[in-house]
């Protein structure tokens, strides 16, 4: 049963069906989706901050 559970729940579709992620991207759409994300990040304003460096 452990291997069956692993095989069934290890699928990316299992996780995305439960909304644990933002979805599965078709490999043919990867370049277009990455381009959209990078363009959005490049054109987004960077607001002024009033906090220092977060130490982890």
Q: What pLDDT, on the 0 to 100 scale, is given for residue 40?
A: 94
Q: What pLDDT, on the 0 to 100 scale, is given for residue 54?
A: 86
Write down the H helix ranges in 1-56.
2-9, 12-17, 30-43
Predicted TM-score (pTM) above 0.75: no
| Tens of pLDDT, residues 9-53 | 999 999 999 999 999 999 999 999 999 999 999 999 989 988 888
Q: What pLDDT, on the 0 to 100 scale, is given for residue 41?
A: 94
CB 15 within 8 A of CB 21: yes
Q: What pLDDT, on the 0 to 100 scale, is given for residue 55?
A: 87
Q: What pLDDT, on the 0 to 100 scale, is given for residue 35?
A: 97
């Amino acid at each position: 049963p452990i291997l069956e559970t692993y095989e069934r729940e290890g699928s990316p579709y299992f996780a995305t069906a439960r909304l644990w992620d933002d979805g599965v991207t078709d490999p043919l759409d990867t370049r277009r989706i990455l381009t959209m994300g990078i363009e959005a990040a490049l054109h987004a304003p960077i607001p002024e901050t009033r906090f220092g460096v977060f130490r982890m």
